[in-house]
Amino acid sequence: MLTRRGFASCALCALTAFAATPVEAEGPAPAGIKREILKRMDGPTPNYETIIASAEIAPGFTVPRHIHPGIESAYIVEGGGLFSVEGEESREIRAGDVAMVPPRRPHMLKNGDKPTRIISTYILEKGQPLAIPA
């Protein structure tokens, strides 16, 4: 069960398609999302990689429903909105909240009236995209 503080993300994930530096681009992000991969490394096991990424979601933008091929842990730096994870109640999130999204669990974010900035850590299957439409 997620609480308000144990919640938030992907935008959260915004991931929704995280685009980053040219070398690390995962494909174009939707028009309302600005994303950047900050750091990427192999591990924690041979078939996984860890990625730290930032995302900024435009005011009023809805991050489409998507999944990640691994775990997402997110911290909401500023802003917030209505966050939905399949199988859980939708919740309002705001600056200071955190969230963890299980692997391949569909989720989305309806952003509020201000930009939302998120920092996420992903532990993903190697060779998979950061985000996949659901």
Encoded tokens for 77: 């730096």
Q: Which CATH number fits domain 11-133: 3.30.565.10, 3.40.640.10, 2.30.110.10, 2.60.120.10?
A: 2.60.120.10
d(C-alpha 59, C-alpha 71), whole Å: 26
- pLDDT 10s digits, 49-61: 999 999 999 999 9
Domain boundaries, given as residue ranges, for the chain: 11-133
- pLDDT 10s digits, 60-118: 999 999 999 999 999 999 999 999 999 999 999 999 999 999 999 999 999 999 999 99
Q: Where are the beta strands (DSSP E) in 1-134?
A: 33-42, 48-57, 62-67, 70-78, 80-85, 91-94, 98-101, 107-111, 116-125, 132-133
d(C-alpha 97, C-alpha 91), whole Å: 11
Q: How many residues comprise the chain?
A: 134
